[in-house]
Structure 1
Amino acid sequence: MIVRCVANKGSEIGPYRQGLFYTPETRYDLSIDSSYKVFAMALLNGFLTVLVADDYDKPAWLPLQLFEVEDSSLPGHWEFAAGEAGMPSPESGELICGGRWGYSEVVHSDTHYYDLEERDSEALRVFNEERSRSSRG
């Protein structure tokens, strides 16, 4: 799946789409009209997020509203999981994952999403292996 950036500021996606983590002041490390490969997707509190490598070559979970889909084909090795495997129901106000699509660690590890956000070295290694794998075809 390939997406093209159509917005890189929270103010450009509208208040009804900003969700839990995006405000009008949010700036994303993306370039308008640039294309990005999607490595995974997650449905968080009703908002679809995609995992891309940003302009600093770092993994970034971003709202789909920042993009227009250029190529909707999904890699054959992607998997899916509903919710967060093995996790109890979240308390009110917590992040609720409705589903995850992507490479194995995104789907089978309840912590990989957060580990990428925290720049955990093992999570980054796995992400970069996936990037390398997908660039080989």
Structure 2
Amino acid sequence: MLVRCRFNSGADLPPHEHGLFYSPQTRFTRLDVGREYRVHAVLVYQRGVLVLVPDRDGRPGAWPVELFEVVDGSLPSHWKFATRDDGEYGYQAVFGYPRLVEDEGHINALMEVEPAALRLFAEEAARES
């Protein structure tokens, strides 16, 4: 799956997204408008949809899907899906590479920038490019 960044400002998000810890003043400075990004997962978080893509430095980030337009909606054949029971303030579902789906702690390890999780993400990114 490939997406193109349309916006990098919270002001461009629909009002319901502001409840996902974003405000109109939020700037997504790690994303470049017009750039295409390979999606490594689709996450349902606090009832919003996020896409997991590497930023300009290759670090993974989970961004509101509304920041992007879909360029290629094809999904990798090895992706998996699982629901989560993290309540309304956590993840409800994840669709992506196997480790992300099978290991409930992996997404948090990515967001915490843990070296082992980042290595696995880099390996997955190289596999899909």
Q: TM-score range with shorter-chain normalisation?
A: over 0.9
Which runs of structure 2 are paired with 1:20-31 in the superposition (5 Å)?
20-28=20-28, 29-31=30-32
Flag structure 2 segments of 5+ consecutive residues without an equivalent: none
Q: How many residues align?
A: 128
- Give the equivalent residue in structure 2 for 1:19: 19
In structure 2, C-alpha distance between the alignment counterparts of 1:60 and 1:96, rounded to whole Å: 16
Does the CA-based 8 Å contact 2:60-2:110 persist in structure 1? yes
Matched, 1:123 2:129: no
Match of 1:3 in 2: 3
| Matching residue's letter, 1:49 | L
3-state secondary structure, aligned to 2:94: strand
- Given that 1:11 and 1:23 are in contact with CA atoms closer than 8 Å, whether structure 2 keeps it comes out as yes
1:80 alignment counterpart:
81
Tell me the percent identity: 40
Name segments (4+ residues, structure 1) moved above 3 Å: none
Q: 1:19 offset after TM fit, Å?
A: 3.0
C-alpha distance after superposition, 1:25-64 (max 9, x if no partner): 2211111111100001110111110000111221010010
Per-residue deviation at 1:14?
A: 3.0
- TM-score under structure 1 normalisation? 0.87
- TM score, norm. by length of structure 2: 0.92
Structure 1, unaligned runs of 5 or more? none
